[in-house]
Amino acid sequence: MSAQSEDFDAFYTATHKRMVATVYAMTGDLVEAEDAVQEAYVRAWQRWDRLTRDDGDPLPWVRTVAMRLAISTWRRTRGRLLAHFRHGPDADVPELSADRVALLNALRELNPDQRQVVILHHLLDLPVEQVARETGASNGAVRTRLSRARKALGERLAEPTVFTTEGVVQHG
């Protein structure tokens, strides 16, 4: 096994689980998160020499690619949430706590830019400056998105959620 392969394997082993958790928080769909993360690592392997030579740390690149892939997929499949409420979860999927469901629903209601900065800053504990670099936004824009997202999440999480017979989520 080459040194390049060993370096990539060590990187993958050290970062894969947290990357899936991060993208899952972004999408609320574990299968989509796993697919996006896997594709991001494939793309990283194809560019491994350049990523480690030019950028040094390949993690921000992989995270950005995985999130962009997940957002793209998420935008195309928003209707799955309604189907989930109509037909219920798959039989082999463990139930999520009410708090986790409420948080995932509230995150889904944020616009993608707000959701991304919340996950990068609060879930991954990245400083505002690094979030700005990874998202291509200014520090001020990141702070604004965080502020607006926190306000929206606070309002949404404070409201009781009602599930109608049609499976539509309404806030009371």
How confident is the model at residue 63, as a pLDDT? 93
- Closest of 161, 65, 164, 81 to residue 116, by C-alpha: 65
Give pTM, 2 decimals.
Answer: 0.59
Per residue in 22-39, pLDDT tens? 999 888 888 889 999 999
Helices then strands, counting H and E runs in the chain, come out as 9, 2
DSSP state of 166: T
Q: Following CA atoms 157, 159, 162, 166 in sequence, which dihedral angle do they give, to the nearest 10 degrees?
A: -80
* Amino acid at site 159: E
How confident is the model at residue 91, as a pLDDT? 56
158 Cβ neighbours under 8 A, 6+ residues apart: none
Q: Would the pLDDT of 165 be above 70?
A: no
* Length of the chain, in residues: 172
Per residue in 96-134, pLDDT tens? 677 777 888 888 889 989 998 998 898 888 999 999 998
How confident is the model at residue 114, as a pLDDT? 92
Cα separation, 170 vs 172, in Å, equals: 6
Q: Would the pLDDT of 19 be above 60?
A: yes
Specify the range with the lowest mean pLDDT, choosing from 30-34, 40-44, 59-63, 80-84.
80-84
48 Cβ neighbours under 8 A, 6+ residues apart: 4, 7, 8, 58
Distance of CA 127 to the CA centre of its chain: 17
Mean pLDDT along residues 48-63: 86
